[in-house]
Amino acid sequence: MSALEGTRALARLALRLDRVRLSIWILGLAVMPMGTAANYQKLYPTQADLQAVSGVLANPSLVAMSGPLFGLNIGALTAWKIGITEFILVGLMSMLTVVRHTRTEEETGRLELLRATTVGRYAPLTAALAVTAIADVTIGLLAALGLMGVGLDPAGSFAFGLAVALFGLLFAAIAAFTAQLTQSARAASGIAGAVLGGTYLLRAVGDTGPSWLAWLSPTGWALHMRPFAGERWWIALLFVGFAVVFGVGGYTLIDRRDVGAGLLPDRPGPASAAPALGSPLGLAWRLHRGLLLGWVVALALSGAVMGGAAVGIGNLDSPNQQLTDILSRMGGTAGLTDAFLGAIYGIIGQLVAVYAIQATLRLRQEESTGRVESILATRVGRVRWAASHLVFAVVGTALLLAVAGVAGGLSYGAQVHDVAGQTGRLLGAALVQLPAALVLAGVGVALIGLLPKLTTLTWAALIVSALLVELGGLFGLNQYVVDAAPFAHVPKLPGAAFTAMPVVWLTVVALALGAVGLLGLRRRDMPVG
């Protein structure tokens, strides 16, 4: 039997299972560049308008967040505004898709059943990569056609679409490699996600400091392809080369491990279980601690880097209204530095919502894998079991925001010689994001309790919320539509006046969603496959 036997059938199965999920990703990522370009054509109709804003966008703090602006035209401005977001999202989609159809299938035992039929050893990974490649290429092609459709240069449009597609393909290959390392799908996704986040931070440091560091980051490569600003087509070879290296590495590691096992050996546990594992809370801590600690490190680094970058905002020689307008659309309302910090902590809040959803959906993972049945066979009730996991969704989210706030406050405060004052301000700016993040976690709880087979829609809610907040104003959407995003109601601290009612209402909504979900969990059948 060929090692690729069954690849076509598995690819068709993956496309069927992901038809809704991938359609949402593809449409969203394909439309964003076109919509951004169309709105920038309205905002900056003349070359003089573009000239006025170009000096502002060269500020080191904005370069750290979005990259350098390489050209004075609508296409280059569009690539500057939407490029980082597009690359990060397509990378996230690619790695999640590959891990879902490889390591997750092994972890649940389904792949072992498939391998008992006429399915070759390389078929699952090949099918996952093929499906992901189809999605990546489709996104890149549609993005390019959309940009050309609003009148932008075909060469620049194609370069942007190519950068998006290649970025996704590279992270599909990275996920194919990490999926061979561990027995856990969460760990495989976590390692690939850490690489994705690391490329962003490395690029930010390189674009504002030693330029060679940006060339160590795939995010930097994508930006430095320079769509609409003298395209550098040769950079595509970097993506192809490293994608081949990681892809070949993934296939090589398949031959070095057993089905269901990871290349990295599991650490042997003690001969007897710790007393804490005798309670649902202790078991939940054991399951969540690795993920939480990894996020703590990432948020500490991110907060420190972005807090340090905020100092550059105040160094403009002649601040003007364009910068205030740009930062206001990003989330701030008062003062250039405060506006920048408000925008940064708005983004950090949405990132931490990813952890909140991950911790919440652990409930569904425990159910779908059958582990919850052993727990519920004891004296532990459903609500108590669910609450043991939701504690970490709530407390863990609050902890991560606090870490980001303190790290940012220490970094920024040390440079302005006001550590105590700035740490308190930025801690508040971070923690005020908590209710909005918990609303999205509440959506996950409600779906687990009422529609357990649709829990992946929680991720769709996060993506839609982020797009509404970041691009709703630019696209000219009705305020009632933007208000559907929880983060649209968060007070924009620091700088803006704190209003308690939005925070109260967001908390009430989060609690209501959680209560509905727990009530449904008590009444429905378990487990639901």
> Distance between CA 66 and CA 185 in Å, rounded?
30
3-state class (DSSP) for residue 118: coil
How many residues are listed for the chain in this entry?
Answer: 529
103 neighbors 186 (Cβ within 8 angstroms)? no
User: Which contiguous run of DSSP H or E holds residue 497?
Assistant: none
Can you point out the beta strands (E) in 344-388?
none
> Distance between CA 413 and CA 420 in Å, rounded?
7
What's the farthest any 2 CA atoms get from each other in the chain?
73
Q: What is the DSSP letter of 135?
A: H
More confident site: 103 or 516: 516
Q: Is the pLDDT assigned to residue 54 strictly greater than 90? A: no
pLDDT, tens only, 228-282: 999 999 999 999 999 999 999 999 988 887 776 676 766 666 666 667 677 888 8
The residue behind tokens 């060679």 is 212
Degrees, nearest 5: CA angle 287-290-296: 130
Per-residue confidence band for 320, with pLDDT thresholds at 50, 70 and 90: very low
pLDDT, tens only, 444-496: 999 999 998 888 889 888 888 887 887 776 666 777 888 888 998 898 888 77
> Distance between CA 332 and CA 299 in Å, rounded?
21
The residue behind tokens 């208000």 is 483
pLDDT, tens only, 101-160: 998 888 777 777 777 777 888 889 999 999 999 999 999 999 999 999 999 999 999 999
Mean pLDDT rounded to a whole number for the chain: 85
Rounded average pLDDT over 2-14: 88
CB neighbours of residue 196 within 10 Å: 21
Share of the chain above pLDDT 90, in %: 36
Q: Is the pLDDT assigned to residue 319 strictly greater than 60? A: no
The residue behind tokens 């001969």 is 271
> Distance between CA 527 and CA 349 in Å, rounded?
33
329 neighbors 467 (Cβ within 8 angstroms)? no
pLDDT score, position 200: 85
pTM: 0.80
**How many Cα atoms sit within 13 Å of 321 on the Cβ side?**
1
349 neighbors 299 (Cβ within 8 angstroms)? no
- Name the region of 509 (left: φ>0; alpha: ψ -120 to 50; beta: rest): alpha
More confident site: 93 or 311: 93
Least confident of 9-13, 75-79, 333-337, 488-492: 333-337
